[in-house]
């Protein structure tokens, strides 16, 4: 969607995450073309979480686990079927199946909890440069970006509803062997309503950015690698505190292992005060074809 303002790009994502209710526990969502060959995994994850939220009152999601089963078709709507598996005194559990062309493309299990106080501790936020000292990711700031395929450039620069400021500049051309650790600051590119449910769905959407590619860093493999196949396999998130995704957040990423054609990446999301607001785990397919 070239030519749109940053706020319009963000409003488009909010619209995509606002599902149409077809029947009790049944919802339908449309897809947003961001330049890939298939539906962006973060979109399906955010929509599935939005569908589950529509069946819960006065409780916030604290964890989710999703399996990506099939690529999504951007030209067809996605139907989300919610199974209300538990409605307890403190917790609610939901199972969501995303369906296209009669087949499931994603399974999601998520749990919701009413607010309560308890013991509290966390590891400190990494000591990294402040976002104000960094520049937004753009075609001008990334070496070799002009040589990427048009759809990849569109995904990275034109249709993003988020601003990214990398602590370690991504290497697209002539990569060197790096430790599988990196950080970036990010925020929504406009203003969002005061709706904690929406902010969590938006973080689920954004959490897919940069996560899987962290496991490529030790192997001198990038988006330029022609025989590379990448795909998300499963995605887990834990929400610890309320936050605003239209304020700057730090995403601290690491990949402890890659083996058997799969890479495991972990992420922690901090607010500017150093509070850990969410944790993310993802395993993805990393296949280099002969």
Catalytic residue among 92, 100, 232, 279: 232
The SS3 call for residue 252 is strand
Beta-strand ranges (E) seen in the chain are: 20-23, 26-29, 60-68, 78-87, 91-100, 103-113, 162-166, 181-188, 228-239, 249-259, 262-270, 276-288
For 99, phi then psi, to 5°, come to -125, 135
Catalytic residue among 43, 50, 137, 208: 208
**What DSSP string describes 176-210?**
----SEEEEEEEESS---S-HHHHHHHHHHHTTTT
State yes or no: is 208 an active-site residue.
yes
Strands 249-259 and 262-270: antiparallel
Kindly give, in sequence order, each residue whose CB lies less than 8 Å from that of residue 203, ignoring residues fewer than 6 positions away.
237, 239, 243, 245, 269, 278
Kindly give, in sequence order, each residue whose CB lies less than 8 Å from that of residue 194, ignoring residues fewer than 6 positions away.
none
Catalytic residue among 100, 252, 279, 282: 282
Local structure of residue 90 (DSSP, 8 states): S
**Triad 146, 152, 154: Cα angle to 5°:** 85
Q: How far apart are CA 198 and CA 18, in angstroms?
A: 9
State yes or no: is 232 an active-site residue.
yes
| CB contact at 8 A, 34 and 211 | no
State yes or no: is 252 an active-site residue.
no
Residues classed as catalytic: 208, 232, 282
């Amino acid at each position: 969607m070239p030519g749109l303002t940053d706020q319009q790009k963000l409003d488009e994502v909010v619209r995509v995450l606002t599902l149409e209710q077809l029947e009790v526990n049944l919802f339908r969502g449309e897809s947003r073309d961001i330049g890939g060959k298939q539906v962006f995994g973060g979109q399906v994850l955010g929509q599935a979480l939005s569908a589950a939220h529509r069946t819960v009152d006065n409780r916030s999601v604290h964890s989710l686990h999703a399996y990506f089963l099939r690529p999504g078709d951007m030209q067809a709507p996605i139907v989300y079927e919610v199974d209300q598996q538990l409605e307890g005194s403190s917790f609610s559990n939901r199972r969501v199946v995303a369906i296209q062309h009669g087949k499931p493309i994603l399974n999601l299990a998520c749990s919701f909890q009413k607010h309560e106080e308890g013991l509290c501790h966390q590891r400190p936020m990494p000591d990294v440069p402040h976002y104000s000292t960094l520049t937004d990711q753009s075609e001008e700031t990334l070496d070799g970006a002009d040589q990427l395929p048009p759809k990849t450039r569109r995904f990275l620069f034109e249709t993003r509803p988020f601003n990214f400021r990398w602590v370690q500049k991504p290497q697209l051309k002539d990569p060197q062997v790096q430790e599988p650790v990196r950080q970036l600051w990010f925020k929504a590119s406009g203003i969002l309503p005061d709706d904690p449910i929406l902010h969590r769905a938006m973080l689920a959407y954004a959490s897919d950015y940069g996560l899987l590619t962290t496991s490529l860093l030790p192997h001198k493999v990038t988006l330029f690698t022609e025989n590379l196949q990448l795909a998300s396999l499963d995605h887990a998130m834990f929400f610890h505190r309320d936050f605003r995704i239209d304020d700057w957040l730090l995403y601290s990423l690491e990949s402890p292992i890659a083996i058997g054609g799969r890479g495991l990446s972990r992420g922690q999301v901090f607010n500017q005060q150093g509070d850990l607001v969410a944790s993310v785990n993802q395993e993805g397919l990393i296949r280099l074809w002969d």
